[in-house]
Amino acid sequence: MIVTRFAPSPTGRLHVGNLRTALHNWLLARKGDRDGTGRFLLRIDDTDQERSREQYVEAIRHDLAWLGLEPDDEFRQSERLELYDSAFAKLKEAGRVYPAYETAQELELKRKIALGRGLPPIYDRAALALSDEQRGAKEAEGIAPHWRFRLDHGEHIDWEDGVRGPQKFDPAQLSDPVIRRADGSWLYMLPSVVDDLDMGVTDVLRGEDHVSNTAVQVQMFSALHQAGEGAEHCSVVDSFPHFGHTALLVGKEGKLSKRLGSLSCDALRERGIEPEAIMSLLARLGTSKPVEPIADRQVLIEGFDLQTFGRAPAKFDEAELERLNAAIVHQLDFEDVRERLPDGIDEAGWHAIRPNLSHVSEAAEWWRLVTGPIEARAFSDEDRAFLAEAADALEWSDNPWGALTTTLKERTGRKGKPLFLPLRQALTGMDHGPDMGELLPLIGENEARARLKRAAGESAG
């Protein structure tokens, strides 16, 4: 069984970096879904009550649904606090968590002193040296402790990363992480591990900025497993999920962090970017596979393979996303877009204008070539005479454009651009656009003849 999870904090809108993580986990779960055992979970990490907003929870759900990444189940950390309390109590009993009393200012001073001495800014574990009397004295002064997880310095932390390969950390080079604030609220580390154990998560795919967090959490998994917490979901050999850490997204000018607002899911949707274009780009960005406009999600699922991911930063290019979007739009069937098209556009109309669109929202602009009004053009005397001849020669049939151009070629001797361009300009007001063989039947016989006559008459008059 493959169980993955996407665990956003509801403190803002999802952006392309979040979407990429969600997509990777969805693809892995769906790839393992052939026998019905793959599961993709949504976990709302809303333990930060000050910053979490319900509007962002709803936005996360909406964005995932729009992309077609609907989860098999949803959980909220704010509803699971008892589980964290239980795990905390067991770790405390096992001596794996301890109280610390330094203020933020004192910790910052320690960090600066360590850096000044050329040492890594690691917490010095001073709180472990406090006696019961000293701890009692601090609490008598009204100083509530925060709580740290005590890393085991006895052996190296290692795991086989699905993207980065073998990973090895010396726990002595890591700070014991704060897992609980003085007010009793939780930080990210421990609740995430408790949830992954309780939910039976088998695979965690996330950005490489979490690698050091994973090193810490590997020991948390082990400590909870030894304490019997969540042991029913893992074996002695495999006591924590498989991890994969993908390279972060960068833009042409470096980090995307300053641009993430304009690259939110909401902003991309407002720009008319299709979900399939986003998925086509993010599924293969940073891999050895070509980025192609793939509307069939099963192709993305079957081709998803962590072995194809590289270590180099994945370059996100908005121009590439726009090119993919246009290509995806050109693949969309009428039924895919019917509800988003202006009144009057039927399947034939969509098929005619589709090749000229970069976004579905542009359909109304191109449909104006059918409904009018069109831009009046100035023609030479020779072209005015030619267009008058065209109005006279127009006969309706199954292929009126083919019949008209064939007749005009025989009558006038024109061919190529001198034949086709004045007709297009008179009928649409443009030098380019949809295939006239498809467009002319949509304009209709009476309107087409009227446009040809107006073009000839306006120029002549």
Encode pLDDT of 384-407 as tens digits: 999 999 999 999 999 999 999 999
Digit-coded pLDDT (tens) for 119-135: 899 999 999 999 999 99
Residues 412/414/415/419 CA torsion (nearest 10 deg): -100
Of the CA atoms within 13 Å of residue 124, those in its CB half-sphere come to 16
Which CATH number applies to 381-460?
1.10.10
Of the chain, the percentage scoring pLDDT greater than 70 comes to 94
Assign residue 95 a region: left if phi > 0, alpha if psi is -120 to 50, beta otherwise? left
**CATH 1.10.1160.10 domain residues, the chain:** 249-329
* Distance (Å, whole) CA 360 – CA 330: 9
- Decide: 349 and 367 in contact? Cβ < 8 Å: yes
What are phi and psi for residue 149, nearest 5 degrees?
Answer: -85, 125
Q: CA-CA distance, 44 to 21, in Å (whole number)?
A: 14
Closest CA to 60 of 45, 72, 78: 45
Tally of CA atoms within 13 A in the half-sphere of 30 that contains its CB? 18
Mean pLDDT along residues 195-218: 96
pLDDT of residue 32: 77
Residues 287-331 have pLDDT tens digits of 999 999 999 999 999 999 999 999 999 999 999 999 999 999 999
Max Cα-Cα span within the chain: 110
Q: DSSP label at 51?
A: T
Query: How far apart, in whole angstroms, are the C-alpha atoms of residue 334 and residue 284?
Result: 27
Dist CA 25 CA 280 (whole Å): 15
The class that CATH gives domain 249-329 is mainly alpha
**Looking at the chain, which residues constitute the CATH 1.10.10 domain(s)?**
381-460
> What are the residue ranges of helices labelled H in 120-254?
132-140, 189-198, 211-226
The beta-strand segments (E) located in 249-306 are 249-251, 254-255
Please write the tens of the pLDDT for every residue from 3-54: 999 999 999 999 999 999 999 999 999 997 655 579 999 999 999 888 999 9
Give, in order, the Cα–Cα distances in Å from 69 to each of 39, 59, 87, 258, 361. 12, 13, 31, 26, 23
Q: Which two tokens stand for residue 127?
A: 């709180």
The whole-number pLDDT of residue 228 equals: 75
